[in-house]
Amino acid sequence: MSGRVVLIASWNADLTSHAGRPPARGETLMGHGFSIGPGGKGSNAAVAAARQGAQVHIVARIGQDAFGDMAMQLWRHEGIHTTHVRQVAGESSGVAQILVYPNGDNSIVVSPGANAGLDARQIQGAAATIAASRVLVASFEVPLAATLEAFRLARAAGVTTVLNPAPARALPAELAALVDLLTPNETELATLSGIEGDRGRAAQALLAQGVAAVLVTLGAQGAALYRKGQPVHTVPGHSMTVKDTIGAGDTFNGALAAALARGEPLELALRWANAAAALSVRASGAIAGMPSLADTAAVLQEAPS
């Protein structure tokens, strides 16, 4: 049975090129394979959650431009509810400039555009939708004031909150106390905690700040779940041929939210998210490889428990 997921969402048009290596400061490199496609951590996670069977509502702010029209077309095609999307005249939609390297890794520069205007007032307009949901997801690609207001509303309504702390920045104490699940990768974990080279100690530092659970994504190695007073719970990675890793973390968050919204226990939801993220790396771009619920279920049936 599906459940409602709300995304406090960023939208960016992904401008992607492939390069042999990262450029040095002041250097110009020749690239190849340029493409324009849909992106933004919140939008990507929304698509992932919808493909995993969730009823998805998106709260976003986009420009009244070609990239904004691209967003609306995508969301409607994926069955995502857009009642709380504002398309604003005179502002540009967000853009992400992405370089993809031969091993599938990438570097990204984000220009937020209209995303930067998403505020607490717009969030308040979605209060009833948030209260009627099972899971709320946000990232640091949207303004902190909007995320804080959304998490306050969610906590008051007993809605599970998931924070993807990317791009990584300091975690305010008020927000930490409202986070049920924090989902950093290892780089973000070190930035958030100020502790490098000791994943367990870094996760415990964030738990001490008030976060209920820290779920660290480990790429091909899987993921690790840390909670106060409980042993670490890990899930192994899945062996996949990597086309690129763009959107894998967003797929993880969307699939995690969808699994929780349909009532899966956290440990099993983690397995769903891990499998979906692994499948997503098989195609280029943020959403091309995002799997369906059936595809993810097939991978889990083949994997050891």
**Residue 48 is assigned to a ligand binding site:** no
**Residue 42 is assigned to a ligand binding site:** yes
Q: Decide if 42 contacts 122 (C-beta within 8 A).
A: no
Distance CA 92, CA 64 (A): 7
**Residue 247 is assigned to a ligand binding site:** no
Distance CA 230, CA 188 (A): 22
Distance CA 149, CA 151 (A): 5
Instruction: Pull the structure tokens for residue 282.
Output: 């098989």
Q: Tell me the H-state helices in 11-65.
A: 41-51
Place of tokens 């670490």: 232
Our answer to whether residue 180 is catalytic in this structure is no
**Residue 127 is assigned to a ligand binding site:** no
**Residue 274 is assigned to a ligand binding site:** yes
**Residue 198 is assigned to a ligand binding site:** no
| Three-class secondary structure of residue 263 per DSSP | coil
**Residue 217 is assigned to a ligand binding site:** yes
Cβ-proximal residues to 250 (8 Å cutoff; 6+ apart), any chain? 41, 44, 45, 48, 164, 286
**Residue 283 is assigned to a ligand binding site:** yes
Distance CA 261, CA 74 (A): 22
The 3-state secondary structure of 97-136, one letter per residue: EEEECCCCCEEEEEECHHHHHCCHHHHHCCHHHHHCCCEE
**Residue 26 is assigned to a ligand binding site:** no
Number of Cβ atoms within 10 Å of the Cβ of 190: 17
**Residue 24 is assigned to a ligand binding site:** no
Sheet of strand 106-111, all strands in order from the earlier edge strand to the far edge: 32-39, 12-18, 94-100, 106-111
Terminal CA-CA length for the chain: 23
Q: Which residue in 65, 180, 250, 295 is the catalytic one?
A: 250
**Residue 253 is assigned to a ligand binding site:** no
**Residue 246 is assigned to a ligand binding site:** yes
**Residue 44 is assigned to a ligand binding site:** yes
**Residue 103 is assigned to a ligand binding site:** no
| Three-class secondary structure of residue 182 per DSSP | strand
**Residue 280 is assigned to a ligand binding site:** yes
**Residue 305 is assigned to a ligand binding site:** no
Residues that are catalytic: 250
Known binding residues are 12-14, 40-44, 141, 185, 217-222, 244, 246, 249-250, 274, 280, 283, 285
Summarize the annotated binding site for K(+) as residue ranges.
Answer: 244, 246, 280, 283, 285
Residues of each annotated binding site for substrate: 12-14, 40-44, 141, 250
Which parts are annotated binding residues for ATP? 185, 217-222, 249-250, 274
